[in-house]
Chain A
Amino acid sequence: MSAPLRAVGTALPRVDADLKVTGAARYTVDVSLPRMLHVKVLRSPHAHARLAHIDARAAAAMPGVAAVVTRDDLRGLNATYGYFIKDQPIVALDKVRYMGDMVAAVAAETEEQAVRALERIEVRYEPLPAAATIEAALAAGAPTLFETPAPGIVPAYGTGASGFKDPAKNVCYRFCYTTGDPAAFARADHVFKDEFRFSRMQHYHLEPFVTVARVEGGEIELWSSCQNPFPLRKELARIFNHPEQNIRVHVPFVGAGYGAKNNCKTEPVAVLLAKKSGRPVRFCMTQEENFLTQSQHAAILRLETGVTRDGRFVARRSEILLDAGAYSDASPLVAEKAGYRINGPYRWEHIDSRCDCVMTNTTPAGPFRGFGGTQASWASESQIDMIARRLGLDPVAVRKKNLLKLGEAYVPGESGMDSNLAEGLDLVCREIGYGRGKRTKGRGIGIAIGFKDSGGVNKPAEAQVKATTTGGIIVNCGTVEIGQGIQTAFTRIVAELFACPPARVSYAPINTDATPFDQGTNASSAIVVMGQALERAARDCIARILDFAAAQLRCEAKDLRLENWSVIKDNQAHALAPMIMRHFGGTGFEFVGRGFFKPETDHHAPLEAKCVSWEIGWGAAEVDVDEETGRVTVCKLVVSGDAGRAIHKDACRGQDEGAAIMGLGQALFETMRFDGPELVNIAAAKYRVPLASDLPETFRAVTQEQGHGPGPFGAKGMGEAGMLPVAAAIANAIEDAVGVRITSLPLSPEKVLAALDAKRRGPDSWAGPDRPYEKP
């Protein structure tokens, strides 16, 4: 980090600023094709039922209707999809498994006509008992969601990790991780057992799930608001038995996702209707439908943690139950991550974790910012605080005693920490004023460290960089601009390497025919995985240019460097454009560089390969608890992530702040409320998300640049970390303030008040899950 940088870290506006502040930015919702039809789907009113009969003939004859699809149209297709387990049908086959499950779809000239046609579809359901919660699905006599197991795979895990498909009734996947000797528990002075509950949120991305699709001349072409176009193409090819080279996926700007826009949502139905109607179709869900399509995972987390009396962590046994909803979606992967991350960035002698995906008759749960790490950080960071207080120790000192050091492996076979954890902890403690100032009644401070492995698992990425005759640079890679500012980050990185003004570098639109392969814009992987591929592509392109120039100047490439589209030799600049024209002729030329990155496959590493990077979110909250009402006011919230090197400081700050406020909503009020299997607070008018008025009076996000990241210029991914510590920091602050511990989210006034009441009456009267505890 010695040389001054001219593009990286500068305060220049984001490259998408002009388009986004003028309304000119085009999203999939804005795509319109001539003769385009509109899609509406029929959704199940039952949480669980056998689909006894369905007849869509009357609907097909309705005015304006071009095509109707039901299960009869899935014959000959691979009709189910999913990440590890292919269990979700395009439209219901034999059963419906949640209220809102797609049963049939209509494409008509207008949405209104499509809605009218839906009313004419004859369906007879035979209702079945439903399991609406984790407990209900695991109870003896619970209804079975899948009578026959769906096809699926278990990854080839390495040392200590294992996966099991269908290990128990209504459990579609189990992830286990263990290391060290279970006898370590005997060396602990205390073993604490605690249970935590995590409630689920909806992603609430403002651009809905939407696809525009056409099928013409054997080609499937679609525009989709999706964050992983290449896996989507592969899945569509498999579903429709269609050659991959004849499927083209375009991804314009994406109106956010927070995890939701991975994998199939609207796409299979849209393609099916486009095929059947022979016309382009647009399937744009309403926000209610978004809520019926994907959610975060609710969870029950049981931790058994052995520690010495001076607060050293010895061993931990964890049992995590995730509410996967009605279809597996990304649940096996989320289970893998929750089970792997549950121990936090600390040193243990023994770890034994198990995470089950429990199928319930509710909205399918899928990827959500934090990806199991949010659930894990909530439970682990709450329990660490509880343990410290039980032992009469300072919670920050206990954390410090056990934190992994910079470079220290997370677990055997893993990569080392690429952040100095204590440095970040000191920073948020300083910012919040931890241990300073005098205590005020009802006020308290809590600290937490959110933690996740980042960069995905064993993830490959390819990038291409082109340089035109006149020195225009075009970045071509599959990372989707979903709000995080990746077009800005990547073009700045390339401008830095080319030593040219950032305005010289453009970011090509994504289309799977022309764009090099990427596995998906997720897992905070763009900077650390694609970023490394991109750096190699840029350097490859530059090497080609310098080789060319060296031949022209009759010298060696190592004696040349590139600057402002000139090559510099012995402090003399030689303009490249005329040199290229002289050699290649009047039409000029393009130099193309390619770069590839994938972590090395490593069967000793627990998860197929060593983790590329570690994403840490340090958080501190100061709360004021009204003991009369139980209302918690977060007066001050500090979060900090480590960008390694901030490629664009505002974008980094925005990621941390946005994530933190999402965490604040999760902590205090935001949750999907179910009455049995029915989602009660569906969509904006009933579902509460944080507004500007919810901002804490003091709110700070501090972007650290510790410089240890594997990405270009020492950068790390940091889009999720800001969310991870917030709920636990607030729960810890509540205990600090008024001496009650809430172990379930959200931290509502009702729960706080009940806990305060029970505390006043004494521990014996305590009935709820948030029981007080005795000091050992």
Chain B
Amino acid sequence: MSAAVAEIIAISLTLNGRAHSARVAPQMMLADFLRDACGLTGTKIGCDQATCGACTVLVDGAPLAACATFAWQIDGCTVTTIEGLATNAALDPVQEAFKAKSAFQCGYCTPGMILLAKALLAANPSPDHAAIRDWISANVCRCTGYQMIVEAVEDAARRLREAAR
């Protein structure tokens, strides 16, 4: 294996609600750490330039491009990937909304979009159309033309508000 690795860094984090510790090479990216070391392949790599957003994960609740984040940078953080949303086989309301509204096609951007939407709804439980469009413009979906995603996020907001009542 690679002899160029200068040192291995020990990290600990909360990954999808569970304490996790690992030893990572300094150049390992978070996306590779999640996919290759943790087997969480729901995080997808698209452009690998922190631009398309397919690799979006939540770090301490904020959306982050895992392809452009070193694994060691999340030491001590709480990380949520798409695999961490559904609990006891029940989908998260945002997942439910994407499913109900068919707000996906090839599905490659979907995990990132759902996590991006989670972050929006945590910050703003009742976003209007314009706010949703603005927010999800952080990520690329090449299939859907976005409108059905906007509608799904709106639907998710409604579901979350109803669940909170």
Contact = CB atoms under 8 A, between A and B. Distances in A.
Interface of A: 13-14, 16-27, 29-30, 63-64, 109-110, 112-113, 204-208, 253-256, 258, 286-287, 482-485, 648, 650-651, 653-655, 657-662, 683-685, 689-693, 695, 699, 701
Contacts of B3: 63
A346 B37 CA distance: 59
B73 interface: no
B86 interface: yes
Given A14-B104, A683-B47, 9 more contacts: A13-B99, A23-B111, A64-B1, A112-B27, A206-B47, A287-B46, A653-B148, A658-B105, A685-B50
Contact of B142 (A20, A204, A485, A692): A204
Given A20-B107, A206-B52, A482-B106, A29 B137 contact: no
Nearest to B51: A684
B143 A654 contact: yes
Contacts of A693: 133-134, 137
B85 interface: yes
Contact of A692 (B27, B43, B105, B133): B133
A661 B82 contact: no
Contact of B85 (A20, A22, A484, A485): A22
B111 A207 contact: no
A203 to B, nearest CB: 8
A21 B105 contact: no
A21 B91 contact: yes
A256 B2 contact: no
A208 to B, nearest CB: 8
Contacts of B127: none
A206 B83 contact: no
B113 to A, nearest CB: 10
A692 to B, nearest CB: 4
B49 A683 contact: yes
A23 B144 contact: no
B47 A685 contact: yes
Contacts of B42: 22-24
B91 to A, nearest CB: 7
A207 B107 CA distance: 10
A661 B83 contact: no
Contact of B147 (A64, A254, A657, A683): A657
B142 A206 contact: yes
Contacts of B111: 23
Interface residues of B, number: 56
A29 B105 CA distance: 17
B76 to A, nearest CB: 24
A207 B100 CA distance: 24
A517 B144 CA distance: 29
Contacts of B100: 13
Interface in B81-99: 81-83, 85-86, 91, 95, 98-99
B66 interface: no
A660 B105 CA distance: 15
Nearest to A650: B102
B163 interface: no
Contact of A110 (B2, B101, B102, B137): B2
Nearest to B99: A17
Interface of B: 1-4, 27, 35, 40-52, 54, 81-83, 85-86, 91, 95, 98-102, 104-111, 114, 132-134, 136-137, 140, 142-150
B2 A684 contact: no
Of the listed residues B45, B108, B133, B144, the one surrounded by the most CB atoms of chain A closer than 10 A to its CB is B108
A25 B145 contact: no
A692 B106 CA distance: 17
Contacts of A63: 2-3
A66 to B, nearest CB: 13
A689 B110 CA distance: 17
Contacts of A29: 41, 44-45
A685 B49 contact: yes
A245 B149 CA distance: 43
A482 B140 CA distance: 17
Contacts of A17: 98-99, 102, 104
B47 A255 contact: no
11 contacts: A17-B104, A21-B98, A21-B104, A23-B40, A23-B81, A64-B1, A205-B142, A206-B106, A650-B102, A684-B52, A699-B145
B147 A483 contact: no
B65 to A, nearest CB: 11
Nearest to A655: B105
Nearest to A653: B148
A692 B47 contact: no
Contacts of A692: 132-134, 136-137, 146, 149-150
Of the listed residues B44, B47, B83, B105, the one surrounded by the most CB atoms of chain A closer than 10 A to its CB is B105
Contacts of B82: 21-23
A387 B136 CA distance: 41
A14 B152 CA distance: 14
Given A18-B99, A22-B42, A692-B136, A657 B107 contact: no
Of the listed residues B2, B47, B85, the one surrounded by the most CB atoms of chain A closer than 10 A to its CB is B47
